Amino acid sequence: MSLMMQEIRQQPAALERTLRLEAPRAARLGRLLAGRDVQLVVLAARGSSDNAALFGRYLIEICTGLPVSLAAPSVHTLYRSRLRLRHAVVVGISQSGESTDVNQVVEEGRRAGAFTVGVTNERRSRLCGLADEVFLVRAGKERSVAATKTYTGQLLVFYLLAAALAGRERWPGLERVPDLAEAALEREGQVAALVERYRFMNRCLVVARGLNYANAYELAIKLMETCYVVADRFSSADLLHGPVAMVEPGFPVFAFAPPGRTLRDMTQVLRRLTGLGAETIVLSGTRSLLSKATSPIEMPADIPERLSPIPYVVPAQLFAACLAEVKGISPDAPRSLRKVTRTL
């Protein structure tokens, strides 16, 4: 069994541990930030951590009304520009805590007067020494190059951070997330039975909207790095503004379609894709939608949209790990990649 698959299975325990140990830190941070005039949140990350940051942007803006910017580290590292960040919270997200450009954004943010937060899996990392406050993703050592348990851990931390910024003591229902991830793992047999059909897939699209949009990015990067599949990702709205033209009969399209505010839009897009003859792989708890999918992955129907991103990405991770296996590729050591990447 691959390390990636082992680490996918470790996620419920890692999520429970992170929630139990980091929730008190979020409560303290909320009290601290209540005395500051926070007007902006800036998130800095790369790779899968950047996908987690995209989720954080949606969640924080929805829950707090604060504008959130995804930092362009090159502004700091290449162009040496100084930003005015006195009323900002700058958050660096890095599995290793050693991403050179992410750390520089945090360092420059603190120098510019921002309150800085680090989110990392490594307590002895440089990021921990730079930030005013640090959230630890309590995932244990992640040995596979493909990030899985640290990605979902980062999503969980963003719930805690959003609650702190909103002045909430806790996030309603968040204690359910480890059990929801456990239930999602039960889809492994269903996913494994599907992947043989896609053994020779070499390109695809991934579509989502809203809080699960980040998962479209994350599944795409997992398919690219572990299966060498060219995977592009779009919001369901953006897809119809041009990229849908590439869809032809048999073209594979993955879709995240949880219940909630995005479901109507995703239903319309999937109807359009079905009409074009696309091969649709749909993750949803809505049986009427699943019945029309080429390859349905049925999720529990009672997962609310705001809690769906973590359990919904688990079967997507399983798909990438299983597909790599049937393709004869080790997902733990993708060609040309290392676990820690330092860029400027």
CB atoms closer than 10 angstroms to residue 78: 11
Domain spans in the chain, listed from the N-terminal domain onward: 3-171, 178-327
Judge: domain 3-171, CATH 3.40.50.10490: yes
Q: Right CATH number for 178-327 from 3.40.50.300, 3.40.50.2300, 3.40.50.10490, 3.40.50.410?
A: 3.40.50.10490
What is the predicted pLDDT for the residue at 99? 92
Would you say 91 and 56 are in contact if contact means Cβ atoms under 8 Å apart?
yes
| Same-fold call for 3-171 versus 178-327 | yes
Cα–Cα distances (Å) from 235 to 180, 244, 309, in that order, read 25, 11, 15
Bridge-based pairing state of the strands 203-208 and 133-136: unpaired
Give the per-residue SS3 of the chain: CCHHHHHHHCHHHHHHHHHHHHHHHHHHHHHHHCCCCCCEEEEECCHHHHHHHHHHHHHHHHHHCCCEEECCHHHHHCCCCCCCCCCEEEEEEECCCCCHHHHHHHHHHHHCCCEEEEEECCCCCHHHHHCCEEEECCCCCCCCCCCCHHHHHHHHHHHHHHHHHHCCCCCCCHHHHHHHHHHHHCCHHHHHHHHHHHCCCCEEEEEECHHHHHHHHHHHHHHHHHHCCEEEEEEHHHHCCCHHHHCCCCCEEEEEECCCCCHHHHHHHHHHHHHCCCEEEEEECCHHHHCCCCEEEECCCCCCHHHCHHHHHHHHHHHHHHHHHHHCCCCCCCCCCCCCCCCC
- Quote the pTM value: 0.95
What is the CA 329 to chain-centroid distance, rounded? Answer: 23
pLDDT for the residue 343: 58
* pLDDT of amino acid 240: 83
What pLDDT is recorded for position 338?
58
Tally of residues, the chain: 344
Average pLDDT for consecutive 10-residue bins of the chain (344 residues)?
A: 96 98 95 93 97 98 96 84 92 95 95 96 96 97 94 98 91 95 97 97 97 98 97 92 89 97 95 96 96 97 96 98 96 70 56
Sign, CA torsion 73/308/177/233: negative
Per-residue pLDDT, 315: 98
